[in-house]
Structure 1
Amino acid sequence: MLTVAIAGASGRMGRLLLEQVAASENTKLVGALEHAGSPELGADAGALVGRPWGVRIVSDPVVALQGADVVIDFSSASATPDVVRAAAAAGVACVVGTTGLSAEAEEALREAAKKIPLLAAPNMSLGVQVLAHALAETLRLLGSDWDVEIIETHHRAKRDAPSGTALRLADVVMRSRDLTHDDLKHGRHGASAQRTLSEVGMHAVRGGDVVGDHTVLLAGAGERIELTHKATSRAVFAAGALRAARWLKGRAPGRYTIGDVLGIAG
C-alpha cells in the first residue's frame, strides 16, 4: 500500500490526482495541503471528487505529510520550496510536478535530494519522455547543420512561458550540440531577425483551453522534420505522477527523472 499526501490538493491537477487515488486499490490518501488562504481549508479532500475519506485539507505541510510515503506536489512555484523542505525534514519521498520554479526552489530540490528520493519533472507523461528520447536520437543522426525551433502551445491561463517541457526539450538540444541557455532565441521581431546556426528558437503560444502541445522543428536544406507531442487530457500527467510516486517509494536519496521510472534515457 502506498500512502500519499497531495500538495495543491484542490487545484486542477490536485483534483485529478485525487481521482487517480480513488481509482487505485493500492494507494491511500493520508494528507492534503493547500495555501493558507484557500477556501477549501478544513474540507474533506475526498469530497472534492465525490469520495469523502476523512482527510482534511490543511495549510501546514508538517501536518499534511504525517504518515505519507510520498508527497506529490502540484501546488505553486512559490509554495514548492516549503513543501520540499518539509518532505526532506520528515524523510518523505517527493514528486514535484509544479513548473516555473525559481532559483530558490531549484536549490531546495538540490538540498532535499541529499536526504530523500526526489523526482521533479515539468511533464509526467510517457509520450513526452519518448519525444525527448526521439529528439536526442534524431539530433545525433542529423548532425549540427540543421536548424532547431521549439514551439509550445498552452491554454490562455498558463502563467509561465516558455513551458517547463519546452525548456527540457531545449536542454536535450543544448546537450547534443554543446550549447548554453544564451543560445536560446525567444521569438523574433524587427528588421534584422536572421537566425544563426547555433541558436535554438523558442516560441510560446497561448490560447483557448489547449492542454499542451510541443513541437520540435528540425529544418535542413530542402527538407524538414517535425517531432510533436499533443496532450489531450491532464489525466495523463496525474497518472504519470502517481506512477512516479510508486516507483520512488523506498529508493535511496537522490535526484531521479521520469526517464528513470520508465527506463528510457533522454
Structure 2
Amino acid sequence: MANFAVIGHKGRMGIALAQAIDQAGHALRVGIDIGGDPGVLTGPKEQGCDVVVDFSAPDALSQNLAAAQSAGVPILIGTTGLEDAHFAAIDKAALTIPVLQTGNTSLGVTLLAHLVKEAAAKLGPDWDIEVLEMHHRHKVDAPSGTAKLLGEAAADGREIDLAANMDSGRHGHTGARQEGAIGFATLRGGSVAGDHSVIFAGNEERITLSHSAENRMIFARGAVRGAEWLIGRKPGRYTMEDVLGLT
C-alpha cells in the first residue's frame, strides 16, 4: 500500500483519483486544493506520503514542484496548459526527484501516441497529418494536452519540431495546406470526457487512429498506475511510455 498526496483533490479529476486510489488498495493521505499549502507534504512523518499526483493548475506548478522536492517524494503531473517555463521548471526538479509529466494518463492514449509516432515515421511526408479532438464544454485550454501529445508523437516520428510545423489557427481564406504541417482541429460541447483522432491522409487513402474516453476514471486509474511505477525510481524525467515499457 502506498500513501498518496493529491493536489487539486476537490476537482473533477481529484474526486476520480480518490476513488481510483482506494480501488487500487492505497491511501489518500494528503489532499490539497485551491488556497491549500503544498508545504504540508513536509509535515510530520505520520502525514507523509510516498508520491504526489498534481492535477491542479499551471500557476501552481512551481510551488507544487518545490513542495515535492522538499519532501523528497516523486511527483506525477497531469496538469495541462503548460508552457515552456513550466517544462523548464520540471526539467530542473527532475534533477533531484522522479517526475512523470504527461498530457494524458490514459494507458490507451499512451499506446495510441506510440502508434502515431510509428505511423508518422513509416508513412513519410507525403501523408498529411490532422489531429482532431473534442471535449466537454467546460474545458478551458485548446488544443487539449492530449492533442498536443499526439502532435508531438507525430512530429517525433517525422523528426521535426512541432512548434514550427503546427497549424491550429485556420480561419477565413487560409490558402492551400502547408506541406509538412501537422493540423489541429478543436471541438467543444456537452459532457464529452475526451475523443481524439489522428488522421493520416494520403493520395486516395486515409488511416485514422483514434481513442474515445467514456469516463474520466480511465485517466485516474492510469495516473494511479503511473504513480505506483514512479515510487522508488531514480531522479529523472519520465513519461507514461516508460510505465508501459514502450521506450
Tell whether the structures are fold-level matches, with TM greater than 0.5. yes
Three-state SS of the structure 1 residue aligned to 2:3 is strand
Native 8 Å contact 2:42 2:70 kept in 1? no
Native 8 Å contact 2:4 2:30 kept in 1? yes
Residue 99 of structure 2 aligns with an amino acid whose one-letter code is L
1:31-54, Cα deviation, whole Å (9 max, x unpaired)? 111121xxxxxxxxxxxxxxxxxx
2:77 to 96, 99, 103: 96
1:93-125, Cα deviation, whole Å (9 max, x unpaired)? 101111001333222211110110110111111
1:159-184, Cα deviation, whole Å (9 max, x unpaired)? 11111111111111222223221211
Relative to the length of structure 1, the TM-score reads: 0.87
Equivalent pairs, count = 242
Deviating 4+ runs (over 4 angstroms): none
Output the CA distance in 2 between the equivalents of 1:87 and 1:64.
Answer: 7
2:53 is aligned to 72
1:41 is aligned to none
Output the CA distance in 2 between the equivalents of 1:138 and 1:182.
Answer: 20
Larger RCO (CA within 8 A; separation ≥ 6)? 2
1:152 to 114, 128, 133: 133
Three-state SS of the structure 2 residue aligned to 1:78 is helix
1:129 is aligned to 110
- Offset of residue 30 of structure 1: 1.5
Question: 1:222 aligned to 2:204?
Answer: yes
Relative to the length of structure 2, the TM-score reads: 0.94
Output the CA distance in 2 between the equivalents of 1:192 and 1:167.
Answer: 22
2:234 is aligned to 252
Output the CA distance in 2 between the equivalents of 1:85 and 1:162.
Answer: 28
- Among the aligned pairs, what percent are the same residue? 44
1:52 is aligned to none
- Offset of residue 78 of structure 1: 1.2
Output the CA distance in 2 between the equivalents of 1:114 and 1:99.
Answer: 22
Native 8 Å contact 2:41 2:71 kept in 1? no
Output the CA distance in 1 between the equivalents of 2:233 and 2:196.
Answer: 31
Output the CA distance in 1 between the equivalents of 2:125 and 2:14.
Answer: 41
Three-state SS of the structure 2 residue aligned to 1:198 is coil
Output the CA distance in 1 between the equivalents of 2:42 and 2:3.
Answer: 10
Question: 1:201 aligned to 2:180?
Answer: no
Map 1:30-179 to 2 at 5 A.
30-36=29-35, 59-64=36-41, 66=43, 67-179=48-160
Gaps of 5+ in 1: 37-58
- Offset of residue 65 of structure 1: 5.2
Three-state SS of the structure 2 residue aligned to 1:158 is coil
Residue 148 of structure 1 aligns with an amino acid whose one-letter code is I
1:186 to 168, 177, 181: 168
Output the CA distance in 1 between the equivalents of 2:12 and 2:133.
Answer: 20
- Offset of residue 193 of structure 1: 2.4
